[in-house]
Amino acid sequence: MDPVLEIKELSGGYIWNRPVIRELDFSIHPGEMVGLIGLNGAGKSTTIKHILGLLAPQTGSVRVMGLERGDDTGRYRGSFAYVPEAPELYEELTIREHLRMTAMAYGLDSAAFERRTVTLADQFDMTDKLDSFPQTLSKGMRQKVMIMNAFLVEPPLYVIDEPFLGLDPLGIRSLLDLMVERKKSGAAFLISSHILSTLETYCDRFIVLHRGRIAAKGTLQQLRSSAGGAPEKTLDDLFYTIVKGGAT
């Protein structure tokens, strides 16, 4: 099966010839959920910016559904949905208008738009906020709007940056349920988070970034073997071993 996301020998960053991520190699297949973990400044957001096409590779390549960002920008961007760490909303548009704009950008028909809007608003307890403006919402509600926009369209790839911050426990549960549902339908996920216990439960594989390089990658089992960890080691224990380069 062809990968949804394929990153080969990727080096990149903000200043030409001064990469902050180096020689990254990984791919994500349909139906896989992959956790991207690393300390502050490890390069997670920079990697995500390369996937979104906001930064150009200095060497190597990023392909989503077989396309590089320069091949066909519309199709490239239409292949993924992104949930940023901090909500970015248009203050002059209501929540329903945000959703409608996303539906138009991704070519979603109006029947699917109406149906999914009702379901998502119900799942995130936002039905009575659909015609409100963002400035009248709480921080967590604004985050829910970003999530609803991403899940309104059903792209092959979801790129999600620190999704659990700010959400209440019901919101977290709704998000995780949706992720599992979309994964079962074949969607691929890249999730960056510091909440390692949740990633451990939900992700199939992990990529540990350290100082811009992949320090370890694989399933929990593979990380345990390569870090010389006992079978009961948690992702948190393994992460500590890997980034400290020593034994737990």
Instruction: Give me the residues that bind ligand ATP (CB under 6 A), please.
Output: 14, 20, 38, 40-46
Q: Hunting for tokens 């909500």 — which residue is that?
A: 87
Nearest approach, Cβ of residue 161 and ligand ATP (Å): 8
**Identity of the residue, 82 or 113, whose beta carbon is nearer to ligand ATP in the bound complex:** 82
Comparison of 50 and 116: residue with beta carbon closer to ligand ATP: 50
Nearest distance from C-beta of residue 179 to ligand ATP, angstroms: 20
3-state helix, strand, coil in the chain (%, to 5): 40, 25, 35
C-alpha closest to that of 191 among 33, 39, 4, 32: 33
**Shortest reach from residue 60's CB to ligand ATP, in Å:** 16
Beta-bridged to residue 159, according to DSSP, are 82, 190
At closest approach, how far in Å is the CB of 200 from ligand ATP? 18
Closest distance between ligand ATP and the C-beta of residue 196, in Å?
13
The string of DSSP letters for 64-130 reads ETTB-TTT-HHHHHTTEEEE-SS----TTS-HHHHHHHHHHHTT--HHHHHHHHHHHHHHTT-GGGT
Using DSSP, state whether 216 is helix, strand or coil: strand
Residue 166 and residue 140 in contact, taking contact as beta carbons nearer than 8 Å: yes
Burial of 232 (0-12, 13-18, 19+ CB in 10 A): exposed
Residue (44 or 100) nearer to ligand ATP, CB:
44
Choice between 20 and 175, CB closer to ligand ATP: 20
State the minimum distance, in angstroms, from the CB of residue 149 to ligand ATP: 21
Residue nearer to ligand ATP on the CB measure, 20 or 190? 20
Nearer to ligand ATP, 148 or 235 (CB): 235
